Structure 1
Amino acid sequence: MSAETTAPDPADWLDYNRANWDERVPIHVDGDFYDVEGFVVGRETVPEFALAEVGDVRGKSLIHPQCHIGTETLGWARHGATVTGLDFSQPALDTASDLAEGIRGFR
């Protein structure tokens, strides 16, 4: 967490949690865990167990709650699904939207 985050008033826990996730977006975009650069050039982001359990998603519609920056959500789209990612962090959704625009040629 950055120095700007202060202890929340218990009545404001949702705002505090959202601010926490908003602050994580640039850390996750620039860090190694999400490997955004690898994702952009085609790295698989959907866990193998999920692909095996869910099966062929071509032509299916999926909802991905807590999509964060969208790498796994967009991974499902690469497998042919129409996916809607949901998140309460606007910076995370903005990043997911930017990634979606940037990878259209890589599907």
Structure 2
Amino acid sequence: MAKKSFNELINSPGMPVLVDFYADWCGPCKTMNPIVQQVASEFAGKLKVLKVNVDTNQAAAAQYRVQGVPTFILFHKGQIVWKQAGAVPGHQLSQIIRQHVG
């Protein structure tokens, strides 16, 4: 099966998609990693989680005006429904996702 493009993944008509824009050198990104993994487990089957390294995927970062890492963008049916730069407490991230997961 061919690898889907970033745009195909976020325009999925099914479930919302949380994109974690990160960099390997970013301390707050490393802090957020277990939280993002926990959210992925919590919403398994209801939410797709994508991690995008801004150093290796500069086009996607530029397309969504990611100016700092980590930046989180929640897409639903291809539309941005929430975006935040910086670390997010796990309970807050879960609460935001819960508002958009059917």
- TM-score by length of structure 1 reads 0.22
- TM-score by length of structure 2 reads 0.22
Comparing both structures, which one devotes a greater share of its residues to helix? 1
